[in-house]
Amino acid sequence: MPHRVVITGMGALTPLGLSVRESWGSAVAGKSGIAPLESFDTSGLSVRFGGEVRGFDPGEYLDRREVRRTDRFVQLAVAAADQAMADAGLAKGDYDPDEAGVSCGTGIGGIITLTEQHQILLERGPDRVSPLFIPMMIANMAAAQVAIRFDMRGPNMTTVTACASSAHALGEAFRRIQYGEAELMLAGGGEAVLLPLCFAGFINMKALSQRNDDPAAASRPFDESRDGFVMGEGAGMLVFEERERALARGAHIYAEVVGYGMTADAYHMVEPAPDGDGAARAMRAALKDGDIAPERVGYVNAHATATPKGDIGEARALRAVFGTHAKNLAVSSTKSMTGHLLGAAGAVEAIFTVLALHEGVLPPTINLQHLDPEVDLDCVPNEARHQQTEVALTNSFGFGGQNVTLALRRADA
């Protein structure tokens, strides 16, 4: 029999706050974390806003030497991991290191370090490039640093699947415990890409919203007037435990992970399949994996980034999977408040989905003034809703057509 997997701790740093509680409180209140960018000069860009993690001091989690030796995406992931372990009531010595592992996703990795060191190369020559350039830049370093920090010597992996990265990381952590390869996994992701190069690339793809005059209203999933996504940064980490182990130590259980589905569109570099087939197959796979009838699902945290094609494709996928039950589903996009955290989005949105189950509150889709008629779903417009839900899904889809769905069940369901 596969082992059951529960969630016992969570940590997050997002544009909505520097902790899970602060971020969740802002989400339930329908607040936007999108504002004009402060971290660099945006005067040469046509998009000048995003979702920054404001007020983050890596020195609260890392010593000065560690801060100098880590990229911001690693710092955010380590901070979220610290929070998650504290929330779970765990510290080194509370577990067998060989039975504990780390699974961490990032879409882009240490691009801040890459751009800084490239500039040094151009201006000062190759001899001045940092000897730590490579280990600071490579995408696996968040998982490595978290493992070092908590002496976790079991499974260790990094998933790089664009905007599905941390959702894949959660799914793979679930499998490691389910298959008996670990008893405890720290899983999630971190992303830090708010710099001119990344903005220039997405702007020239025509992927970003252009609402410089009203940043807080720029992320508009499912709305007729949506004009692209809003880029953000952040991290989310969750503690996954084998259920019997968690019960034996008296852990607080937030929710149970019951299903994981992943597929590929095999369609296009950046566009989703118009009919949403890949997304639909991922959702069906997660439901099958958890032996869950579609009618038991009450809430879906949608990937919905506010791109014209993506939101419609996901809506079509939801209708294909749920049929007549689709009209009973509550579907919201918390990206309306956080912006799109790219590789960290899946983990942060999983945390929001866990709390929706745990607290009986569904976060809203803000900025939803005129629902796109092709969406035709209950998108929890503008205000949170008190609603008990037994099972929820969270979707994450990445460039290249890589799709992930996680199915979560309320702890007492």
- What is the dihedral sign for C-alpha 220, 215, 272, 348? negative
CA-closest candidate to residue 309, choices 405, 365, 217, 226: 226
Give the Cα separation of 330 and 402 in Å (integer).
24
In the numeric block, which tokens belong to residue 106? 């990032």
Cβ(393)–Cβ(318) below 8 Å: no
Q: Is 275 helix (H, G, I), strand (E, B) or coil?
A: coil
Q: By three-state DSSP, how is residue 141 classified?
A: helix
Alpha-helical segments (H) within 290-324 = 308-322
- How many CB atoms are located within 10 Å of the residue 63 CB? 10
Quote the Cα angle for 104-151-158, to 5°.
15
- Considering only CA atoms, give the Rg of the chain: 20
How many helices (H) and strands (E) the chain has is answered by: 13, 14
**Catalytic site residues?**
163, 303, 340
**Which 8-state DSSP code applies to residue 212?**
T
Q: Is 330 helix (H, G, I), strand (E, B) or coil?
A: strand
Q: Are strands 5-13 and 100-105 parallel, antiparallel or unpaired?
A: unpaired
Terminal-to-terminal C-alpha distance of the chain: 20
Beta pairing class for 361-362 and 184-191: unpaired
Task: Look at residue 397 and give its three-state secondary structure.
Answer: strand
CA distance 167 to 257: 12
Contact 410, 258 (CB under 8 A): no
